[in-house]
Amino acid sequence: MARVFVLSKRPEGLPTLDDFAEATWADEPLHDGEVRVEPLFVSVDPYLRGRMSDARSYVAPFEVGQAITSSAIGRVLETSAPGLRIGDLVRGESPWATSYVANAANLWRLPETSDVRPSAYLGVLGMTGLTAYVGLTLFGGIQPGDEVLVTAGAGAVGSVVGQLARIFGARVVGSAGGAHKVGQLAQLGFNAGIDYHAVDFSEALASSFPAGISLFFDNVGGRQFEAALHRMKDFGRIVSCGAISHYNDTELPPGPRGLEGIVVRRRLKIQGFIVSDHLSLYSEYLRKAMTWVREGQLVSLETTSRGFESLPQAFLSLFRGGNVGKMVVEVGAP
Amino acid sequence: MARVFVLSKRPEGLPTLDDFAEATWADEPLHDGEVRVEPLFVSVDPYLRGRMSDARSYVAPFEVGQAITSSAIGRVLETSAPGLRIGDLVRGESPWATSYVANAANLWRLPETSDVRPSAYLGVLGMTGLTAYVGLTLFGGIQPGDEVLVTAGAGAVGSVVGQLARIFGARVVGSAGGAHKVGQLAQLGFNAGIDYHAVDFSEALASSFPAGISLFFDNVGGRQFEAALHRMKDFGRIVSCGAISHYNDTELPPGPRGLEGIVVRRRLKIQGFIVSDHLSLYSEYLRKAMTWVREGQLVSLETTSRGFESLPQAFLSLFRGGNVGKMVVEVGAP
């Protein structure tokens, strides 16, 4: 018998605990090639909000009454697959459950030698890290000397963006909400942080970027996007990775004022991307990132929520800025 | 003695005739390397509106009391430059004047053999044509099979964009204001035209692009931009060439609603450009365009305004949609 969280109804606007319900699953027998997995660390991510709505997007929506799923690190409890042994640590798309059955072909076994907690393979060494890497390199074309702004700099992706930008020789400023998070930015090696709760964001950008922003990595959208747009240098690149300020909107939100004119005058490039289109770069990234981690240039920043039952709440807290770095739920923790 | 139009004051919002004043210039003697030029065909372009304001941009603003300048084809009246003879046709940045003195190094002599009117070197064989070519190829990455939308399809740049898109094997739909212009689109070989005055633009896009737009070449901005944004295919490219709907705004105009979210979800690229950054591609373009013109695949579409004194009015008419194709003032015409 496994416990599982299902989508009880589609949220309108900001999700609430009522949108989730707990159910139970019988322990199904394994078929050839399958394993039973106990999720240890479950990733909760803002993009899951999109899957809770019934809208065309790049991944299919969750169905009402069905399990919520996200990326997780789990332990193999039982195996009918030749490549996996009991106790192996694996990563895969996992239901929010205390155990589940997976096809071994859909799981990735963690490297045996590791200087990091397994949960890092959800964050700095996982898709979160790859997102930062792909955005900065493939779409941002980052170069030494770039003047980089990253919004939600203390968030899961943003905290890696800032560290990688420094590694690539850029100057980087992050935005974050509140003094605690801005303090985290300094510890991660950001050159500066802007507390967007406390200051006029446009004025702060003018101070932080007297010559303008050459590369803007955006996770937020909305007012921060508009302010940064008007602070871009000629030929600046805007990498659009997310728009968490809009994920709970119930109607089309206002766009950045003056966009079309300024894009032409300053010859800006705005490029949206989704990391799952670029998984072929993961091995290249992981090799580099492991080196940077071992050298101490790249650290894992995580917020841990404890216990299976905390999954929905951990997810909801993302929209209140409740996480510093990657939000991970430690399912088995007391 | 030459007649010249100067900027009498900076316009607020839509320019008026009062923003221009006629003055006279004494005929200065020539220095070595200089020629006296009589402008025959003067290009009037929407981007000149930006130079009439006192704002930082990619070209310096015009000064009040000084001549308005734009690209023109002229005839050499008098020469102190070894490379140019009396009667040569030249293209250069020219004051709105009946004659002026230029350094020969800043002039480009038109090819002697030509199947076209000299004014075509302002339009389809000039910067207008290069703008369409650079936008489609360098930034749009146009491919056979692309589904292309061009706004202001009957305008100077748009009319070339549509023809080039067909030459490159794409399907192309243009927007234009009024039945006459939409009729011109058909004659230029566009696959379809949308009269944005007469229909709901979003609905028309849905009909014209059932599978979505893969390449959107925008000259207009505003509501047409927003509607097209929401009709883009995944991985669509938006080439931002102009935003004539906004050039006379006196405050920051509303942006396209929902921009930041849709850019990510559909992995869109929005790229602004200015042709003057890409003049090195002109000889390549001219060679190809001459061939297409001789083959009858590419035609010059022009609206001619007659007489020196019509210059300001011809410019103002651009913002009322008064031109089909390239707006040229034939300075010496009666």
Q: If DSSP states are collapsed to H, E and C, what string results for chain B?
A: CEEEEEECCCCCCCCCHHHEEEEEECCCCCCCCEEEEEEEEEECCCCHHHHHCCCCCCCCCCCCCCECEEEEEEEEEEECCCCCCCCCEEEEEEECECCEEEEHHHCEECCCCCCCCHHHHCCCCCHHHHHHHHHHHHHCCCCCCCEEEECCCCEHHHHHHHHHHHHCCCEEEEEECCHHHHHHHHHCCCCEEEECCCCCHHHHHHHHCCCCEEEEEECCCHHHHHHHHCCEEEEEEEEECCCHHHCCCCCCCCECCCHHHHHHHCCCEEEECCHHHHHHHHHHHHHHHHHHHHCCCCCCCEEEEECHHHHHHHHHHHHHCCCCEEEEEECCCC
Q: What integer pLDDT is reported at residue B322 of this predicted model? A: 86
How buried is A248 (Cβ within 10 angstroms: 0-12 exposed, 13-18 middle, 19+ buried)? middle
Closest-CA residue of chain B to A261: B243
Measured CA to CA, the distance from residue A50 to residue B26 in angstroms comes to 69
- CA dihedral defined by B108, B113, B114, B118, rounded to 10 degrees? 40
Measured CA to CA, the distance from residue B48 to residue B316 in angstroms comes to 11
Lowest mean pLDDT, pick from A55-59, A164-168, A302-306, B275-279: A55-59
A222-229 and A201-208 helices, crossing angle to 10°: 40
Lowest mean pLDDT, pick from B194-203, B221-230, B319-328: B319-328
pLDDT above 80 (res B284): yes
Q: Given pLDDT bands bounded at 50, 70 and 90, which one contains residue B113?
A: low
Q: Given pLDDT bands bounded at 50, 70 and 90, which one contains residue B56?
A: confident
Q: What token pair was written down for A285?
A: 């990234």
Most A-contacting residue of B229, B239, B263 (CB-CB within 10 A), to test interface: B263
Closest-CA residue of chain B to A225: B260
Nearest residue, CB atoms, A252 vs list B258, B271, B277: B258
3-state SS, one letter per residue, for chain A:
CEEEEEECCCCCCCCCHHHEEEEEECCCCCCCCEEEEEEEEEECCCCHHHHHCCCCCCCCCCCCCCECEEEEEEEEEEECCCCCCCCCEEEEEEECECCEEEEHHHCEECCCCCCCCHHHHCCCCCHHHHHHHHHHHHHCCCCCCCEEEECCCCEHHHHHHHHHHHHCCCEEEEEECCHHHHHHHHHCCCCEEEECCCCCHHHHHHHHCCCCEEEEEECCCHHHHHHHHCCEEEEEEEEECCCHHHCCCCCCCCECCCHHHHHHHCCCEEEECCHHHHHHHHHHHHHHHHHHHHHCCCCCCEEEEECHHHHHHHHHHHHHCCCCEEEEEECCCC
Q: What integer pLDDT is reported at residue A58 of this predicted model? A: 81
Q: What integer pLDDT is reported at residue A116 of this predicted model? A: 87
Q: What integer pLDDT is reported at residue A229 of this predicted model? A: 98
Interface A–B counts its CB contacts (< 8 A) at 126
Most B-contacting residue of A51, A131, A151, A264 (CB-CB within 10 A), to test interface: A264
Nearest residue, CB atoms, A243 vs list B50, B264, B268: B264
- Give exposure, B84-112, as e/b (b: 16+ Cβ within 10 Å): beeebbbbbebbbbbbbbbebeebeebee
Query: A272 vs B265: CB contact, 8 Å cut-off?
Result: yes
What is the rounded average pLDDT of the residues B123-135? 98
Question: How many angstroms away from the CA of A57 is the closest CA of chain B?
Answer: 7
Which of A93, A122, A95, A86 lies closest to A107 in space, CA to CA?
Answer: A93
pLDDT above 70 (res B255): yes
Residues in B whose CB is inside 8 Å of some CB of A read 50, 57-58, 218, 221-222, 225-226, 234, 240-243, 245-247, 252-274, 277
Torsional class of B316: left (φ above 0), alpha (ψ -120 to 50), beta (otherwise):
alpha
Measured CA to CA, the distance from residue A80 to residue A76 in angstroms comes to 11
Residues in A whose CB is inside 8 Å of some CB of B read 50, 57-58, 218, 221-222, 225-226, 234, 240-243, 245-247, 252-274, 277
Q: Given pLDDT bands bounded at 50, 70 and 90, which one contains residue B71?
A: very high
Give the type of residue at A280: S
Instruction: Report chain B residues whose CB lies below 8 A from the CB of A266.
Output: 58, 272
Query: A269 vs B274: CB contact, 8 Å cut-off?
Result: no
What phi and psi values does residue A79 have, to the nearest 5 degrees? -140, 135
pLDDT above 70 (res A114): no
Q: What integer pLDDT is reported at residue B114 of this predicted model? A: 65
Domains and CATH numbers, chain B: 2-123+301-330 (3.90.180.10), 127-276 (3.40.50.720)
For residue B206, what are the contacts with CB-CB under 8 A and spacing of at least 6?
B231
Closest-CA residue of chain A to B271: A269
Query: B255 vs A252: CB contact, 8 Å cut-off?
Result: no
Nearest residue, CB atoms, B267 vs list A225, A262, A272: A272
Do B106 and B65 form a contact (C-beta atoms < 8 A)?
Answer: no
What is the rounded average pLDDT of the residues A297-326? 95
Instruction: Report chain A residues whose CB lies below 8 A from the CB of B245.
Output: 260
pLDDT above 80 (res A115): no
Query: B272 vs A252: CB contact, 8 Å cut-off?
Result: no
Measured CA to CA, the distance from residue A313 to residue B318 in angstroms comes to 57
Question: How many angstroms away from the CA of A267 is the closest CA of chain B?
Answer: 4
Do A218 and B263 form a contact (C-beta atoms < 8 A)?
Answer: no
Nearest residue, CB atoms, A242 vs list B50, B245, B264: B264
Query: B264 vs A273: CB contact, 8 Å cut-off?
Result: yes
Nearest residue, CB atoms, A264 vs list B264, B269, B274: B274
A 10 A CB-CB count for B60 gives: 8
- For the stretch A16-63, pLDDT in tens is 999 999 999 999 999 999 999 999 999 999 999 999 998 877 888 999
Instruction: Report chain A residues whose CB lies below 8 A from the CB of B247.
Output: 261
Mean pLDDT of chain B: 95
Question: How many angstroms away from the CA of B162 is the closest CA of chain A?
Answer: 20
Measured CA to CA, the distance from residue A153 to residue A193 in angstroms comes to 8
- For the stretch A206-260, pLDDT in tens is 999 999 999 999 999 999 999 999 999 999 999 999 999 888 888 999 999 999 9
What is the rounded average pLDDT of the residues A293-298? 95
Lowest mean pLDDT, pick from A157-171, A320-334, B173-187, B300-314: A320-334
- For the stretch A141-196, pLDDT in tens is 999 999 999 999 999 999 999 999 999 999 999 999 999 999 999 999 999 999 99
